[in-house]
Amino acid sequence: MMPIDEPVRDSGESTGELVLEVAAVPAQAARLRDLLANWALERGLPRELAEDLKLTAYEAMTNVVKHAYPDGTEDNVMTITATREDGHIKITVADEGRWRDGRRPDGGRGLPIIRAFAPEASVTSTPTGTIVRLAWPCPPA
């Protein structure tokens, strides 16, 4: 069982890239939304866009918890990557679960929110997992 409070891997400041491999549980999504927004602010993303990033990244992570791993065990993993490249802040949320087709009674709003608040958003699903890619323009440092 992975601890909820600690990331498995974090590449940190040395590369400027943030890579977190964590348990796919609601508590991690809540904790990481603030971490990602602060990381982006430190790299020059305007506050308004950082709030959009916080909302959309949270929706993507919540989708992993609800849809990729509906059993809710802490052995399930999601990988979050944050980079600043090509004038953008880029966030990737990936899982190794299986996308569940059809609407759930408690779902259906995550992807529309993501697409409304992220200037660039894509979702790629395969039998071996789903990757959500998000990007916001960021002025030069």
Sheet holding 129-137, edge to edge: 18-23, 77-85, 88-95, 129-137, 120-126
Query: Lowest-pLDDT range, 23-32, 51-60, 66-75, 83-92?
Result: 66-75
Listed in sequence order, the residues at least 6 apart from 16 whose beta carbon sits closer than 8 Å to its beta carbon are: 43, 83, 84
pLDDT digits (tens, 9 = 90+) for 65-115: 888 876 666 578 999 999 999 999 999 999 998 766 555 555 578 889 999
Domain extents for the chain? 12-137
Using alpha carbons, list the distances in angstroms from residue 140 to 2, 28, 39, 71, 119. 37, 30, 15, 43, 18
pLDDT at 9 over 70: no
Does pLDDT of 25 surpass 60?
Answer: yes
Fold of 12-137: Heat Shock Protein 90 (3.30.565)
| d(C-alpha 21, C-alpha 80), whole Å | 6
Residue 71 corresponds to which amino acid?
D
User: Distance between CA atoms of 51 and 24, rounded to whole angstroms?
Assistant: 22
